Structure 1
Amino acid sequence: MRLDRNPDRSPSPVSSSSDTDDIDDEHEYEAELLESIAEKEVELNHTQELINERNRQVQATLTELQQINNTTLKSVNNFTLFPTSFLFCCASANIVSCLSAFSCYLTRSDT
């Protein structure tokens, strides 16, 4: 029979309360570490939500600016095309051509 299985054998004298304290300290440290990790995950998730919201705001602003830019470009194109045609017609003193250019300008599909 092995000695470590002998029921009459007394506990090892090496075991002491300091071993138990060390184990308790280690468990406490692990618990604190896990709690700290959980807190950091919550902070990280919150930060990611803030970043996502900011990205949505930036995307909305970019979309608005693109729409404004497109509208402005259309307005500029319409403004520059009509006066050029109109001035050319007036300079040639051909009123029929001038009225025709004005009519075409008014019926353009992109205005």
Structure 2
Amino acid sequence: GGSGAAAAAAEEEAALAAAARGLFGDQAALHALYTLARTRHFGPEVKRRILSGNFVLSSEAYHDYYELADWARRRLRREFARAFGPRGAGGGNAGCDALLAPTAP
């Protein structure tokens, strides 16, 4: 769930597609090879991620999922840089000299 999951699903699908292209090249039967690889060699979780990524990048869902997730991710990066970066980073002046956190629950 959440906007981060939408962006991650889209990125995972793109990475898996690129990996498949690297394995099989630009052969004439590329579609058949993709289908074979995805059917026989990808487990249920990988198949779910591919389908999720394809859905998020579809024209019907692109704005509702990917664009909003990308906007949220950029905003979170800016806020993180402002809060934890050197003084003045990200347009802020709060800065952070140290971050304390528990090492065990």
- Report the structure, 1 or 2, having the larger helix content: 1
- Which of 1 and 2 has greater Rg? 1
Tell me which of the two structures has the higher relative contact order, counting C-alpha pairs closer than 8 angstroms and 6 or more residues apart: 2
TM-score (norm 2): 0.30
TM-score (norm 1): 0.29
